[in-house]
Structure 1
Amino acid sequence: MSRRGENIRKRKDGRWEGRYSAYEPQSQKNVVHSIYAKSYSEVKEKLSAAKMDTQYMSKIRKCAGDVPFYLVADKWLATVKSTKKHATFIKYRFIYQKHIKEKMENLVLAKLNEDILSQIFQNENNEVLSDSVQKSISCVMNQILSYAASNYHTEKIRYSNQRQKTGNKPVEIFSQTEQTRLLHHLYDGMDVFKLGIVICISTGLRLGEICALKWQDIDLERKMLHVNSTVQRITMDGKETRTVLLEGEPKSVYSKREIPLSDELVKLIFPYYKNAGKYVLHNNKPLDPRTYQNKFRKYLLATDIGHKNFHSLRHTFATNYINSGADIKSLSEILGHSDVKITLNRYVHPTIETKRQHMNSLAAIYGQYLGHELP
Structure 2
Amino acid sequence: MSRTGENIYKRRDGRWEGRYIRTRIGGKAKYVSVYGRSYREVKKKLEDAKTKQEKCNTKAEKAGKMADIGNSWLSEAALFLKKSSINKYEDILRCYILPEFGENELSEITNQRLISFANALLTNGGARKQGLTATTVAEIMSAMNGIRIYALRKEYEVGFSPECVNLKKEQGDIRVFSLEEEEKLLDYLQKNMDLPALGILLCLYTGIRVGELCALKWDDINLLEKKMSVSKSMQRLRINAVSGSKTEVKILEPKSACSVRTIPLPDTIIELLEEFHTPGAFLLTGKSSRFVEPRTMQNRFKKAILSCGIQDANFHATRHTFATRCIELGFDVKTLSEILGHASVTITMNRYVHPSMAHKREHMNRFSNLFAVR
TM-score, length-scaled by structure 2: 0.77
Match of 1:317 in 2: 322
Name which of 197, 206, 214 aligns with 2:209: 206
Name which of 326, 329, 351 aligns with 2:334: 329
Shift of 1:225: 1.0
Name which of 249, 252, 261 aligns with 2:253: 249
Question: After the TM superposition, which of the residue ranges 118-127 and 178-187 deviates more from structure 2?
Answer: 118-127
Name which of 316, 335, 346 aligns with 1:341: 346
Q: Deviations over 1:89-115 (max 9, x none)?
A: 111110122221122123212224544
Match of 1:107 in 2: 104
**Could you tell me whether the CA contact under 8 Å between 1:196 and 1:281 is conserved in 2?**
yes
Match of 2:143 in 1: 140
The 1:243–1:342 alpha-carbon spacing in structure 2 relative to 1, beyond 3 Å, is same
Match of 1:96 in 2: 93
Match of 2:269 in 1: 265
Shift of 1:263: 1.5
The 1:261–1:125 alpha-carbon spacing in structure 2 relative to 1, beyond 3 Å, is closer
Shift of 1:166: 5.7
Distance 2:234 2:340 in 1: 17
For residues 347-366 of structure 1, what are the structure 2 equivalents within 5 Å?
Answer: 347-366=352-371
Match of 2:298 in 1: 293
Distance 1:167 1:138 in 2: 17
Shift of 1:347: 0.6
Shift of 1:161: 6.2
The 1:312–1:240 alpha-carbon spacing in structure 2 relative to 1, beyond 3 Å, is closer
For residues 6-25 of structure 1, what are the structure 2 equivalents within 5 Å?
Answer: none
Q: Deviations over 1:47-98 (max 9, x none)?
A: xxxxxxxxxx988753343211211001112223343222211111101222
Distance 2:134 2:339 in 1: 26
Percent of matched pairs sharing the same residue:
33
The 1:286–1:354 alpha-carbon spacing in structure 2 relative to 1, beyond 3 Å, is same
The 1:140–1:325 alpha-carbon spacing in structure 2 relative to 1, beyond 3 Å, is same
- SS in structure 2 at match of 1:286: coil
Shift of 1:211: 0.4
| Alignment size in residue pairs | 313
Name which of 217, 220, 223 aligns with 2:220: 217
**Could you tell me whether the CA contact under 8 Å between 2:121 and 2:132 is conserved in 1?**
no
**Could you tell me whether the CA contact under 8 Å between 2:284 and 2:291 is conserved in 1?**
yes
Q: Deviations over 1:351-371 (max 9, x none)?
A: 01001001101101223xx6x
Letter in 2 for 1:365: L
Question: After the TM superposition, which of the residue ranges 119-128 and 281-290 deviates more from structure 2?
Answer: 119-128
Distance 1:255 1:294 in 2: 24
Shift of 1:194: 0.9
Distance 1:277 1:251 in 2: 24
Distance 2:165 2:113 in 1: 13
Match of 2:67 in 1: 70
Distance 1:163 1:96 in 2: 21
**Could you tell me whether the CA contact under 8 Å between 1:145 and 1:156 is conserved in 2?**
no
Distance 1:271 1:294 in 2: 25
Match of 1:5 in 2: none
Distance 2:143 2:254 in 1: 21
**Could you tell me whether the CA contact under 8 Å between 2:258 and 2:342 is conserved in 1?**
yes
Q: Structure 1 regions of 5+ residues with no counterpart?
A: 1-56
Distance 2:161 2:218 in 1: 47
Distance 1:240 1:138 in 2: 21
The 1:98–1:202 alpha-carbon spacing in structure 2 relative to 1, beyond 3 Å, is same
- SS in structure 2 at match of 1:254: helix
Distance 1:214 1:254 in 2: 20
Aligned pair 1:173/2:173, yes or no? no
- SS in structure 2 at match of 1:84: coil
**Could you tell me whether the CA contact under 8 Å between 2:111 and 2:164 is conserved in 1?**
no
The 1:228–1:323 alpha-carbon spacing in structure 2 relative to 1, beyond 3 Å, is same
- SS in structure 2 at match of 1:152: coil
Shift of 1:150: 1.1
**Could you tell me whether the CA contact under 8 Å between 1:122 and 1:163 is conserved in 2?**
no
Distance 2:172 2:57 in 1: 47
Question: After the TM superposition, which of the residue ranges 161-170 and 77-86 deviates more from structure 2?
Answer: 161-170
